[in-house]
Copies of this chain bind each other. A is one copy, B any other.
């Protein structure tokens, strides 16, 4: 039993599946991908039981149906090195890959052992804009908690909050800071809000980035979200994380002591320079006066740094400190020439947002100046 497929096409598909494969697992079958070959179809499946990937590829094959599971890493490492052109894939209990003068024999696992990757999802269905959704994810994902301790699994992901009036807000937070990205949705029948794991989101991000479609479909049945990319014949099942997301609207401050408008690039460049002197202190101090901010940092080994930037200010003069990394990562996401910095006190959250753009907001806790 054998079929042929272009190397490039095969590699793209295997790499798209890669984030759905289990990374560390005691069950080896979950580190594999299932290839199922049937009438004029190659189906590629991968799952870590949280995320499920299915892609259908048209091929010229009309003989007996067959399927096998192969380790994803080994398989993509080999396919990647093959010269461009057709690859012959032969299976007779063991798997053989042939291309030009090269041939590989690769161990396989039993397809019968592979879990069901794409269960049926029947629930609310809405259409989302692909590029916009990708941008929204990129604007918040860096704030999600990387640590996947079961106790903090509610922060190790992105919250998809659907609100009445037709809004979708994506939220990520590591409890020290929070990023929020919002869009208007025309569908009237919105699904209930859900939380997806960071690893699932990385797989979704990759598929969104590689797709060429304008829109895609999201189905939600209360415990599973199904993302369908018609044009690419891709389905992605992302299981919802069973945990309560914090009530983020409560921590958004409503009143401000001091409001600043600054040039985004100028602020970012100054911040980067001053940060060097912060060294292990991981603190940068902002002295906000009538028409300028002085950024300061110091550490015993590196020394001291100081920068002055012109700003527009409303409200009180204030001296306040932040983690330079937390400021930098937020301001890097601002796409407007100028941004707003809204301070509600030395121990209350600060809001950073682009000028005249309510689709993005970043909330960060000040640090105590040591």
Contacts and interface: CB of A to CB of B under 8 A. Distances in A.
Nearest to A95: B303
A33 to B, nearest CB: 15
Interface stretch (A61-69, A104-112, A205-213, A318-326): A104-112
Interface of A: 71, 74, 77-78, 81-83, 95, 101-107, 269-270, 272-274, 276-277, 298, 300-309
Contacts of A307: 101-103
- Most chain B CB within a 10 A radius of its CB, from A274, A298, A302: A302
- Most chain B CB within a 10 A radius of its CB, from A71, A270, A273: A273
A221 to B, nearest CB: 39
Given A81-B272, A82-B273, 7 more contacts: A78-B276, A78-B305, A95-B303, A101-B270, A101-B307, A102-B274, A104-B304
Given A77-B276, A78-B276, A276-B77, A103 B305 contact: yes
21 contacts: A74-B301, A74-B302, A78-B273, A78-B277, A78-B302, A78-B305, A81-B276, A101-B270, A101-B307, A101-B308, A102-B270, A102-B307, A104-B277, A104-B305, A104-B306, A105-B298, A105-B303, A106-B302, A106-B304, A107-B301, A107-B303
A300 to B, nearest CB: 8
Closest 7 CB pairs of A and B: A106-B303, A105-B304, A81-B273, A101-B308, A105-B303, A104-B305, A103-B306
Contacts of A277: 78, 104
Contacts of A106: 302-304
B270 A305 contact: no
Contacts of A309: 101
Nearest to A101: B308
A78 B301 CA distance: 13
Contact of A305 (B83, B95, B102, B276): B102
Contacts of A308: 101
Contacts of A83: 269
Nearest to A297: B104
B74 A303 contact: yes
Contacts of A82: 273
Nearest to A99: B273
A262 B229 CA distance: 48
- Most chain B CB within a 10 A radius of its CB, from A103, A272, A308: A103
A106 B102 CA distance: 59
Contacts of A101: 270, 307-309
